[in-house]
């Protein structure tokens, strides 16, 4: 990982995620995971393929926001000890993932794609896909920065 924090480069990371989504057509999960992949030692192509099914709220079901899923993938890359130490880092990874979900929900009023987009809801949209991607990148970067500083 680079010597500087992710948060110190947040403008570049959010711009990269936006470009991946808006210009290259990646879904929300892919945009977040692929924008962060090179920064956290993950293979960008693996991030692309592994996150593909999480778009549009889990395979188009408009459930959990794909941007959150992409963020959790990045968090897992950083916090998991891998198969060599199977099970020993699961608790910390769950805690970090839960933090992302809770902070995203607090900021946006939901974690569900359908509610964020205002689909079949009494209210209108809560947050655009672009806004969700930006929020997920920013929150994920903050969580990863804190975790790496502590470990």
User: pLDDT tens digits, residue range 54-92?
Assistant: 999 999 999 999 999 999 999 999 999 999 988 899 999
DSSP one-letter code for 151: -
Q: Where are the domains of the chain?
A: 7-150
The pTM of the full predicted model, rounded to 2 decimals, is 0.95
CA dihedral sign of residues 9, 15, 21, 24: negative
Tokens of 104: 């995203």
Residue 58 DSSP label: H
SS3 for 31?
helix
**Helix, strand or coil, per DSSP, at residue 88:** coil
Q: What is the pLDDT of residues 102-113, one digit of tens each?
A: 999 999 999 999
């Amino acid at each position: 990982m680079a010597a500087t924090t992710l948060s110190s480069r947040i403008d570049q990371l959010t711009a990269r995620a936006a470009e991946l989504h808006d210009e290259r057509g990646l879904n929300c999960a892919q945009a977040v995971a692929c924008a962060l992949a090179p920064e956290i030692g993950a293979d960008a192509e693996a991030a692309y393929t592994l996150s593909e099914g999480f778009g549009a709220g889990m395979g188009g079901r408009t459930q959990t926001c794909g941007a959150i899923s992409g963020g959790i993938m990045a968090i897992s890359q950083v916090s998991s000890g891998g198969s060599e130490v199977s099970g020993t880092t699961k608790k910390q990874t769950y805690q970090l993932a839960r933090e992302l979900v809770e902070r995203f929900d607090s900021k946006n009023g939901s974690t569900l794609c359908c509610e964020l987009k205002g689909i079949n809801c009494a209210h209108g949209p809560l947050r655009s896909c672009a806004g969700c991607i930006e929020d997920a990148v920013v929150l994920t970067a903050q969580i990863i920065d804190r975790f790496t500083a502590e470990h």
